[in-house]
Each structure stands twice: as C-alpha cells, then as structure tokens.
Structure 1
Amino acid sequence: MSIKTIIAIGLLVIGTTTVAQTSKTTEVNMEKLGLTQEWDKTFPQSDKVLHSKVTFRNRYGITLAADMYVPRNVGGKLAAIAVSGPFGAVKEQSSGLYAQALAERGFLTIAFDPSFTGESGGQPRNIASPDLNTEDFSAAVDYLVTHNDVDAERIGILGICGWGGFAINAAANDTRIKATIASTMYDIGRCTANGYNDKMTADERYKMREQLNAQRTVDARNGTYQRNVMNPQPADDAPQFMKDYYDYYKTERGYHPRSINSGLGWNMTSTLAFLNAPILAYSDEIRSAVMVIHGEKAHSRYMGEDAFKKLKGDNKHLLIVPGAVHTDLYDKIDIIPFDRIEQFYKEYLK
C-alpha cells in the first residue's frame, strides 16, 4: 500500500469520525421547549394563512422557537422571509404582525424569538449579543433553506428596530439572504456606545464600563443576574419617544408577559457585549438588495439614514414614511408600508 493511499484512508477516517462526533454533540444539545399552543398574540389571527409553531437550532446549539405563517391555497415552492424584532420584544408582538401580513401576500414566513428570550432556549435568560443575534437570523435561514415548501434561492429577512441592525449585519455575512428590510432601524452597538445622537463622551463610556463590570462582580458573588427596568411610567417632561415606548409595551396595545420590554427587563450586564462591537462594519460589502424604512418623525431616523448611506449598489432603497414616529412602524397597519414591502420582496425574490 502506497504512502498516498495510507494518507487518503487516514483522512477519510478522520473526516468520518468528525462527522459522527458532530452529529452526536448536536443531538445532545437539542433542547425541548414547552411552546404555548393557544393564540396569544397582540394582533388578531388571520383566516388567510395557516399558523403553526416550529423550532430550529442556531450554530451554537440554542433551540429557537418560531411561529410559521403559510398562505392558504398557494402551491409550489414559495419565497420565504424570516422576521424578528424589535429589540427586547417577542414574536407575539410586532414581528408576528409583519410575518402574518406578509404571508397574506403570498410569502411563507417565520417570526422567531431570539436566543435567551421569549419561548426560545438558552441560559441565562434575557441577555443579548451582537454575534448570537446575528447568528439567529442565519439559523432561521438554515431552517428555511431545508423546508420542503421553500425555494432556497428566494429567501429574505426583515428586522424591526434593533433587529434591523442585526438584519443588515446578517446580510453582510450570509450570502444566502437575497433581500433584507430594516424597519424603524436601531444600531444597538452605536446607540449603546455613543448614546443618542452620538453625544456620549469617552469618559462617560468608561464610567459605564466601570458600573457594568462592578455589576458583574455583584452577580458573580450572588450567583444571580440583576435585571434592569424597561419602559417605566414616563414623567410628564420625558422625551416623547419614551412615552411612545410605554404606550406600546406597557398598555393593552402591545403588552405581552414574555416580552423583556413589557416588564421582564434585560440582564444589566448584557449591555457590555455591545460597547465594543460595531455591527455594521462591513455593510458596504452587501451585494444583495436592502431596503431601509423609517418614520419621518422617528427619534431613531438618523441611525437608519446613516446605515443607508453606507450601502452600495443600485439595489439599495430608503423609504421615509411621512409623519410616522418610531413605534408607529411596530403595529399600525395603516402606516406600515406593506404594499412597498411586498413590492420590494417580489422584485428581489423572484
């Protein structure tokens, strides 16, 4: 037996062993989730689509929970869209509304809970990560490309609020994504590190790091994770956008008990992950289609417009919705430009 033959056999054995070990590890890491079966969304159920619960894993072995919406009486391989956001919300809120509306327009859609939140798996609970949350979008694509009713070459994503930034980051990294929409977009990394309108100084940022790392010490000693308070009752002189958040997350309009923004709160040290992690570093290299949608009067509009300025190519679009504030694009179906969204996806997922 020649040396080349021995080497070839050895590599084959190593490769086979690696695959076997990987499969075994993945199986062990699969988490069984207890999913709510009743309709518990903040929006009414449509009779134009079929709804079901699905689960899938991300690349780190975390099991994600999603609602799947399939248009009735439509056959063949469908274009598909994965939806998530806003940052700190759950699939029973805004993302589910978008997903159901797009399914009514002929797309197979899923709205998923990010890692560590909602009905999805992962421990500890209520944390976020720019890497993991971007990966969650690609994990949703993994699920869709292997679905029997989906055309693997016609897959898009849609991110709302902070998930608009993750969507753009995912599009920069995952070439399977053919069309991306960022609606009422937040750049979470930029806003965390620089504050609103980039007014935070280096000294203020350093003080934030001191406070967060001191909290890490407290958490380590206590064996628990301190959570922050999300969207408390705003004072009369609070900025309007804080009142808008309260109006959505803490009232019947958008409240959901599994939503971090409705009351559960983030683990305080979760913020550390975003201080040193700009997520749009390579957005100028996206070759697929991207649309950025923002409200004319949104306090976050500058983040979406700046993100759009960095995009290159003639398949990039910016849509400013007249008179709309940030949260109008969460759930106000008479303001969310679904006709334009449908047109965009049909143009680039064909």
Structure 2
Amino acid sequence: MMNFNQTALTNDTRVFKINPAIQVQNVRFDNRYGFTVAGHLYLPQDFDADKQYAAIAISGPFGAVKEQSSGLYAQTLAERGFVTLAFDQSGTGESSGKVRNMASPDIFVEDYSAAVDFLGLQKFVDRERIGAIGICGLGSHVLTAASIDVRIKAVATSVMYDMSDSMWKGLNNSKTAEQRDLEKQYLADMRWKEAENGHVPGPHELAFDDNNKPVYWDKMFGKTLPAGADPVTTDFFNYYVGRAFHPRSVNSNGAWDATSPWGYYNFPLQQRIGEIKAPKLIVTGEKAHSRYMAEEAYERLTDPKELVIVPNATHVDLYDQMDKIPFDKFTSFFKENLK
C-alpha cells in the first residue's frame, strides 16, 4: 500500500503571487523505488470533499522546485477548477534521496506515475480524469511517462526540452562525435572523483571551449550575470537568481551532480511517445531556444495532438509570465479531455 501524508502548508516559500482563496496542502508520497516525493496539493476554490474532481500532476522545469513555475501552474489551474499537484523531482527540493541533485531519466519518469498513484488515492479525485503537465526538461519526462502509463488521460508540455537529446547531441544538435568521446572520458574522470571523495557538482550539459576542452563549473550561476552573457543565459539568470530565486532550486543555488548525463546517455527519453493514445498538447514559445525540440516531439506524436506556439515568447517567458502562458488553452484542453 502506498505511503503518503498530508499536512497544512506552513513556512510558505513560494516565489509567485499567492492566491489565498486556493487551499494548499503539503504532501509526501513514495514512488516505486522508495523515494519520498514532496508535493503541494492545490484544491479548487469552493472545494467540496464529497465531490470528485479532475486532477493534474505538474513538475518542472528541470532543476526547479515546486515553489517556482510548477506551483504557479498548479495554483492557476486550481483557480480553473482542477485539483493539482506540483512536486519536486526525487533527490531535489524537499524530496528524499541520499545523493542530492542527481538527475535520472527513469526515476523522474517514475515520479509522474507516483504522482498519479497519489492523486488516484484521494477520494475527491476521479481516477479516470487524471492528466499531467511537464514544464521545460520535465516535458520530455512526462511524455515518456504517458507512453506507458495509460492512467494519464491527457498530457501537456510547456516549452518542452528533451534532456537526453540536449546532453547527447548538444543544443541545436551541435555536439560532434569527437566531443561525445571527450565527454565520456570527462564522465569517467568524474566517476573516479566521486568514488574517491563523494558528490561532485558540475554541468549537466557539457560545453566545450575554443580548444575543444570540456568547460567545468561547480555552480549554475553566481550572484551576478557573467559579462557578455547571451540572451538565453540572461533569461535563465533573471528567473532563477532574480525574480524566482529559491534556495532549494538546483538552478538557483547550486548544480546537478556532475555525473547526471550518465543516465541520459544510456537511457534516452521519448523513445515510444508515438504510442501515446491520450490527447496531447505541446506548447512552446515562438522565440524559445527549445522550440525545435517541442516541434520534433510533436512530429513523432500521433493524433489526437495539438501544437501551440505562443507569439513573441521565449523559453523562460513560459515559466511565469502570466500574459504569455496560455492558461486558457491549458484549461480548455484538460476540461475537454478530462470530462
């Protein structure tokens, strides 16, 4: 039997504008591997425990926590009448894990199914009306989850980012075979360091300098934006270090474990997303650097599916910019397909 608990939300550290009319509970539930996943359960306005509601599990971005973007999505969709669950990926935020900030394609996909378990055990949730959303890198994980977990009756992504492709191929498929060989040696060296000394933080997407040498760093961002930073880096910095800083967020206050690419090299995501029978909504920004990833995933999906490209929106805009996130579209999609 699944273990879980629910308590009132205290010591609230959410970084977005809170709607006091929406009840939120602090919840914990176990996934199939024994990790305890931490979440915030949002209840619709005028919630009635004797009714049954449609529910949506939400996580992401990759390296964020539930107090950031996923919580904003969860609160907004709770305002629209859904029970929603924003959760931290295993080993991050308030979720358990002896090794912190170690990314895993298998475990993060499992976290979505564990979230479905949790939602389906609530007497006020209709098990036949559960959906899921993945933001940024968790978009590739949620599609992978939905390819086997038929309990997910509708699935959506926002600025979907394929973590396996970005690590193996590089952004815009720019990584060469030589660089992949160099990265394998880099990862082997990191394994020796961790075997000898324990956890080593480092980049989860390895870059190379002008001499084709791996670029190592031990923290995603410092307190100031690097001189000459490109627009994408600037966007991420302004979100994670600026307006949405959270001390538990990997991207705000640290780095992934340096060996995180190991799992994504061996176990690529989205291999069977063409088999998803549930309705699918792929949302991305017109100016998002990840747009091509969302469009490639969309092409591999089968009907019913829909692609929405938000005009003038960058990748990070769809984390928290309320005038750009198409919440009306998310609402109509889930109301239609979880009715």
TM over 0.5: yes
C-alpha contact 1:34 1:119 (8 A) present in aligned 2: no
Distance 1:189 1:327, change over 3 A: same
Instruction: Report how far residue 151 of structure 1 moved.
Output: 0.4
Q: 1:187 aligns with which of 148, 151, 162?
A: 162
Partner of 2:60: 85
Q: Partners of 2:66 and 2:239 in 1: how far apart?
A: 15
Structure with higher helix content: 1
Q: Partners of 2:63 and 2:293 in 1: how far apart?
A: 18
C-alpha contact 2:6 2:26 (8 A) present in aligned 1: no
Q: 2:321 aligns with which of 319, 327, 332?
A: 332
How many pairs are equivalent? 321
Segments of structure 1 that go 5 or more residues without pairing to the other structure are 1-22
**CA deviation map 1:65-122 (0-9, x unaligned):** 1001001214310000010000000000000000000000000001000100000111
Partner of 1:242: 233
Q: Partners of 2:6 and 2:228 in 1: how far apart?
A: 43
Q: 1:143 aligns with which of 118, 121, 131?
A: 118
Q: Partners of 2:108 and 2:31 in 1: how far apart?
A: 10
Partner of 2:178: 203
The reply on whether 1:162 has 2:137 as its aligned counterpart is yes
Distance 1:35 1:64, change over 3 A: farther
C-alpha contact 1:33 1:119 (8 A) present in aligned 2: no
Q: Partners of 2:134 and 2:8 in 1: how far apart?
A: 23
Q: Partners of 2:21 and 2:330 in 1: how far apart?
A: 18
C-alpha contact 2:6 2:27 (8 A) present in aligned 1: no
C-alpha contact 2:8 2:25 (8 A) present in aligned 1: no
Partner of 1:19: none
Q: Partners of 1:169 and 1:55 in 2: how far apart?
A: 23
Partner of 2:27: 54
Q: Partners of 2:100 and 2:87 in 1: how far apart?
A: 16
Instruction: Report how far residue 270 of structure 1 moved.
Output: 1.3
Partner of 1:11: none
Instruction: State the TM-score, normalizing by the size of structure 2.
Output: 0.91
Larger radius of gyration: 1
Q: Partners of 1:301 and 1:205 in 2: how far apart?
A: 23
Taking the TM superposition and a 5 Å limit, the aligned residue runs for 1:212-251 are: 212-227=187-202, 228-232=218-222, 233-251=224-242
Q: Partners of 1:165 and 1:276 in 2: how far apart?
A: 15
Segments of structure 2 that go 5 or more residues without pairing to the other structure are 203-217
Partner of 2:10: 37
Partner of 2:249: 259
The reply on whether 1:288 has 2:278 as its aligned counterpart is yes
Q: Partners of 2:128 and 2:86 in 1: how far apart?
A: 19
Identity between Structure 1 and Structure 2 (%): 45
Distance 1:328 1:224, change over 3 A: closer
Instruction: Report how far residue 48 of structure 1 moved.
Output: 2.6
Q: 2:105 aligns with which of 126, 130, 137?
A: 130
Instruction: State the TM-score, normalizing by the size of structure 1.
Output: 0.88
Instruction: Give RMSD over aligned pairs.
Output: 1.8
The reply on whether 1:318 has 2:291 as its aligned counterpart is no
C-alpha contact 1:162 1:185 (8 A) present in aligned 2: yes
Q: Partners of 1:208 and 1:177 in 2: how far apart?
A: 36
- Please state whether the residue corresponding to 1:151 is helix, strand or coil: strand
